[in-house]
């Protein structure tokens, strides 16, 4: 369930594995590098898709939105791929993991530590 940087490097860059999708679950400002919160640098891992997992939480009730709304959040993430999810420090990627698993994604993994490490 948890992967280290070495797996990301090996599977995505060294092997150029077409079966892996990188999912950056941070807010857009962190993804673009406009906001740098306690990280060595701003930006994102090249080729990562940015979908903020917190968008699936209803701001009033603090509950997940409907399964249809969750499905609409992840149109760029194919179900037949391995998903490596990361965020700043491990909260948002865990939320995305639970969302994707609830939607039927079979192979979702969490990048240990996140962008800040």
The residues annotated with a catalytic role in the active site are 87
Report residue 43 as tokens.
């930006």
Please answer whether residues 108 and 97 qualify as being in contact, where contact means their C-beta atoms are separated by less than 8 angstroms: yes
Helix (H, G, I), strand (E, B) or coil at 111: strand
Q: What is the rounded CA–CA span in Å between residue 36 and residue 116?
A: 9
Structure tokens at 32: 């673009």
User: Residue 111's closest CA among 84, 89, 91?
Assistant: 84
């Amino acid at each position: 369930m948890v992967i280290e940087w070495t797996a990301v490097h090996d599977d995505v860059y060294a092997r150029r594995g077409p079966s892996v999708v990188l999912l950056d679950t941070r807010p857009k400002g962190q993804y673009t590098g406009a906001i740098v919160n306690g990280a060595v640098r701003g930006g994102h891992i090249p080729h990562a898709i940015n979908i903020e997992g917190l968008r699936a939480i209803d701001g009033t009730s603090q509950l997940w939105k409907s399964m249809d709304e969750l499905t609409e959040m992840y149109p760029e993430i194919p179900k037949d791929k391995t998903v490596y999810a990361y965020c700043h420090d491990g909260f948002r990627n865990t939320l995305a993991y639970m969302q994707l698993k609830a939607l039927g994604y079979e192979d979702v993994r969490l990048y240990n530590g996140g962008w800040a490490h």
